[in-house]
Amino acid sequence: MTQNTQHRQRLAAVLILERGSPVNPEILLVKRARHLNSHAGEVGLPGGMTEPYDQDLWHTALREAQEEVGITPDSVQLRRPLRHAFTRQGVEVAPFVAAWMHEHPLVLCAEEIESAFWLPVSFLKQDQRVRTDIFTRQSQEYWAPVYRFAGQLIWGFTARLLVEYLNICQGAAIGRSHQAPVARFKPA
């Protein structure tokens, strides 16, 4: 396996899909199926690993969203990419903020997705986190809030990306300091 192939296999893309008013949109989140080997039962954003036939990372995000929840590429308009971020496992992820222009019923892939729901940005802006998680990767600390919404736990990498989105796209100023308890995680 070449270095380029190894690097490509460690790339992923996700879609931060907005619907509704630009002032107070909702973001699509998915709950992964419980039988999966990776991230089973966790809440995340539509997306996944690149495939050799993907034109670029934007197309990876679109392909994965269509596979997972039936979002068609022609119904999505790119608003902006966010900076790439790394998961604890070292996967480089490209997040793309997009608007859902032509809504239609979601079609969940039962093999990958248990459920999907829309999270109001106004809820996230209140920053009513239940905990702040601190992760260490390659001697660097990263933090992520933990939110509970409609019985679902939103945490880890997904929460980190949502904070980045809120601060850049929604003018929020959410930071690490908070009155919620702190949990530290050992390096992956």
| CATH number where 157 lies | 3.90.79.10
CA distance 36 to 187: 23
Strand order in the sheet with 182-185: 152-154, 140-149, 131-137, 182-185
Q: How many C-beta neighbours within 10 Å does residue 22 have?
A: 11
> What is the reported pLDDT for 140?
84
pTM surpassing 0.95? no
The pLDDT mean for the chain works out to 90
Burial class (CB within 10 angstroms; exposed 0-12, middle 13-18, buried 19+) of 92:
middle
Domain count, the chain: 1
* Full domain range(s) for residue 63: 3-185
pLDDT digit string (tens) for 10-61?
Answer: 899 999 999 998 878 999 999 988 766 666 578 999 999 999 999 999 999 9
- Which residues are CB-contacts of 66 (< 8 A; sequence separation ≥ 6)? 72, 73
From the list 167, 133, 135, 162, the residue with the least C-alpha distance to 149 is 162
Pair 11, 50: CB distance under 8 Å = yes
